[in-house]
Amino acid sequence: MSVDVLFVTPPSKDHVYQNLSSEFSAIEPPVWSMLCATYIRNQGYSVAILDAEADHMSYGQCAGAIEEHDPILTVFVIYGHQPSASTQCMPAGNEVCSMLNPQLKTIVMGTHASALPEKTMLEEPYDFVCEGEGPYTILSLLQCIRAGGVDLHKVPGLWYRVYPDGEMGLATTGMAQNIQNLDMELPEQAWDLINIRKYRAHNWHCFPDSIRTPYASIQTSLGCPYKCSFCCINAPFGGSGIRYWKPSTVVKQMEMLHTKYGVTNIKIPDEMFILNETHVTEICDLIIEHKLKLNIWAYGRIDTVKPKYLEKLKKAGFNWLALGIESGSKHVRDGSDKGKFKDNDIYHICDKIKKHGINIIANYIFGLPDDTHDSMQETLDMARAINAEWANFYCAMAYPGSPLFDDAVKNGPSLPSNHIGYSQHSYETYPLATNHLTATEVLQFRDNAFMKYFTDPMYLKMMQEKFGSSVVDGIKEMTKIELKRELLGA
CATH code reported for the domain at 5-172: 3.40.50.280
pLDDT of 83 reads 52
pLDDT at 477 over 80: yes
Q: What is the DSSP letter of 401?
A: T
| Residue 106, pLDDT above cutoff 80 | yes
Question: Is there a contact between 137 and 155 (Cβ–Cβ < 8 Å)?
Answer: yes
pLDDT value of position 57: 94
73 close to 46: Cβ distance less than 8 angstroms? no
**Which pLDDT does position 344 carry in this prediction?**
82
Pairing of strands 5-9, 158-162: unpaired
pLDDT at 64: 97
The rounded mean pLDDT for the chain is 93
Amino acid at 239: G
Minimum mean pLDDT among 49-53, 129-133, 233-237, 370-374: which range?
Answer: 233-237
Whether the predicted pLDDT of 269 surpasses 90: yes
Is residue 490 scored above 80 in pLDDT? no
Asked whether 130 and 74 are in contact (CB, 8 A), the reply is: no
The answer to whether residues 244 and 276 touch, using CB atoms and an 8 Å cutoff, is yes
Measured CA to CA, the distance from residue 57 to residue 464 in angstroms comes to 37
The answer on pLDDT for 342 being more than 80 is no
pLDDT single digits (tens) 108-134: 999 999 999 999 999 999 999 999 999
Give the start-to-end residue ranges of the domains of the chain: 5-172, 191-478
| pLDDT number for residue 14 | 58
Q: Is the pLDDT of residue 312 over 70?
A: yes
pLDDT level of residue 333 (50, 70, 90 thresholds): confident
Q: Looking at residues 179-203, what average pLDDT do you find?
A: 95
* Residue 210 burial class via C-beta count within 10 angstroms: exposed 0-12, middle 13-18, buried 19 and up: exposed
What pLDDT score was predicted for residue 220?
97
What is the identity of the amino acid at 1?
A: M
CATH class of 191-478: alpha beta
Burial class (CB in 10 A: 0-12, 13-18, 19+), 162: exposed
Q: How far is CA 136 from CA 71, 142, 181, 189, in A?
A: 18, 10, 13, 16
User: Could you read off the pLDDT of 9-57 as tens digits, one per residue?
Assistant: 999 865 655 555 556 678 999 999 999 999 999 999 999 999 999 999 9
Give the pLDDT confidence score for residue 447 in this predicted structure. 97
Segment 404-422 mean pLDDT? 89
Q: Residue 165: pLDDT above 90?
A: no
